[in-house]
């Protein structure tokens, strides 16, 4: 090859290297563009649900059956499965939770499974960002537990859903073909609320009547620690007397077994709301409460 040909070849190689380097730097951006141009057979999906004060999120890809045999064939029994397609399915918790009764710290995890005819193993693994299960390392597992598959209605696309079970728990369901597996996620709501209340009250200014009022309202609604609720509402009223904090005080007094004092505080709240031309959304709950208490007292 002559000198001119060598120069042309060198320039071509340099151009290729620059192009490859730019592609590598683009990373996910290029992959995202390609996915947009050429839709995946197993589309990306996500589902999120507030469980108490915790956000539970699942990110996955949804394979479809396409007339294939799934369990024991496409998805072998006894082998670690990505629990979806493409990247490993990921599950995240915004705060500490219990999964199937086991403590799990806040964070994001790969959700692997080992399907079986009578029993599945569910695995939470520290490395949430993995391609399939090719680099799966059991030493990085933080939790393993068993679940039993149950029969369900037909589902063409693999589907994850999160169903609230109570104010502080929810079931994570996986449905595909005619099979479902599920497990429970629980939040220690009292502990979370207590920590949040402590933090918020610590940050509240000396003139913040509303934060103290809302904290007292929470304790009242939760029907616990009424002495603390009363202390907070008295602090709120001392800062600034409002229809809202007088109404909360009235309800605390009623719950504590002081109906006469409760009625007096309620009338103060309604009177102050009237003087301030408060919105109907403020006044009506107070008037409804007064009517309810009057009917209850008449029945005694």
Q: Which residue has the tokens 């409460």?
A: 289
Residues 147 and 225 in one domain: no
Determine the structural domain holding residue 262 and report its residue range: 204-294
| The two structure tokens encoding residue 278 | 């408060």
Residue 34 located in a structural domain? no
Q: Does any domain span residue 18?
A: no
Distance CA 117, CA 69 (A): 14
Q: Which residues contact 79 (CB under 8 A, 6 or more apart)?
A: 114, 115
3-state secondary structure at position 271: helix
Interval 116-130: pLDDT, tens? 999 999 999 999 998
Confidence at residue 132, expressed as pLDDT on a 0 to 100 scale: 83
CB 240 within 8 A of CB 209: yes
Q: Is the pLDDT of residue 32 over 90?
A: no
Supply the mean pLDDT for the chain: 88
Quickly state the pLDDT bin for 67 (edges 50, 70, 90).
Answer: very high
Residue 35 lies in a domain: no
Q: pLDDT at position 28, please?
A: 46
Is there a single domain that holds both residue 124 and residue 244? no
Binned at pLDDT 50, 70 and 90, residue 37 comes out as low
Torsion of CA 114, 138, 99, 171, to 10 degrees: -30
Does residue 48 sit in the same domain as residue 182?
Answer: yes
Inter-residue contact 97 to 104 (CB < 8 Å)? yes
Give the chain's domain count. 2
What's the pLDDT score for residue 191?
A: 83
Name which of 10-19, 103-112, 139-148, 263-272 the model is least confident about. Answer: 10-19
Chain segment 222-266, per-residue pLDDT in tens: 888 899 999 999 999 999 999 999 999 999 999 999 999 999 999
Residue 11 belongs to a domain: no
pTM passes above 0.85: no
Residue 212 in any domain: the answer is yes
CA-to-CA dists, residue 1 to 6, 10, 14, 17, 172, angstroms: 7, 12, 18, 22, 66
50 and 177 both lie in a single domain: yes
């Amino acid at each position: 090859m002559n000198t001119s040909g060598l120069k042309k070849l060198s320039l071509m190689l340099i151009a290729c290297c620059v192009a490859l380097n730019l592609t590598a730097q683009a990373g996910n951006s290029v992959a995202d563009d390609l996915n947009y141009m050429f839709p995946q057979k197993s589309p990306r999906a996500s589902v999120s649900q507030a469980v108490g004060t915790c956000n539970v999120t699942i990110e996955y890809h949804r394979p479809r059956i396409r007339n294939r045999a799934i369990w024991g064939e496409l998805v072998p029994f006894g082998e670690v499965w990505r629990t979806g397609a493409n990247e490993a399915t990921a599950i995240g918790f915004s705060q500490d939770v219990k999964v199937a009764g086991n403590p799990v710290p806040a964070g994001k995890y790969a959700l692997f499974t080992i399907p079986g005819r009578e029993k599945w193993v569910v695995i939470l693994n520290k490395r949430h960002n993995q391609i399939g299960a090719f680099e799966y390392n059991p030493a990085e597992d933080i939790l393993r537990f068993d679940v039993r598959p149950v029969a369900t209605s037909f589902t063409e696309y693999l589907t994850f859903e999160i169903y609230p079970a109570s104010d502080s728990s929810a079931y994570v369901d996986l449905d595909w073909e005619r099979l479902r597996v599920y497990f429970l996620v629980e939040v220690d709501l009292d502990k979370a609320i207590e920590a949040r209340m402590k933090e918020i009250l610590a940050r509240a200014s000396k003139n913040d009547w509303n934060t103290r009022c809302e904290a007292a309202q929470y304790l009242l609604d939760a029907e616990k620690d009424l002495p603390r609720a009363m202390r907070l509402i008295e602090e709120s009223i001392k800062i600034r007397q409002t229809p809202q904090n007088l109404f909360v005080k009235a309800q605390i007094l009623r719950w504590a077994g002081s109906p006469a004092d409760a009625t007096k505080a309620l009338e103060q709240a309604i009177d102050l709301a009237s003087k301030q031309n408060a919105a109907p959304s403020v006044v009506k709950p107070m008037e409804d409460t007064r009517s309810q208490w009057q009917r209850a007292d008449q029945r005694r």
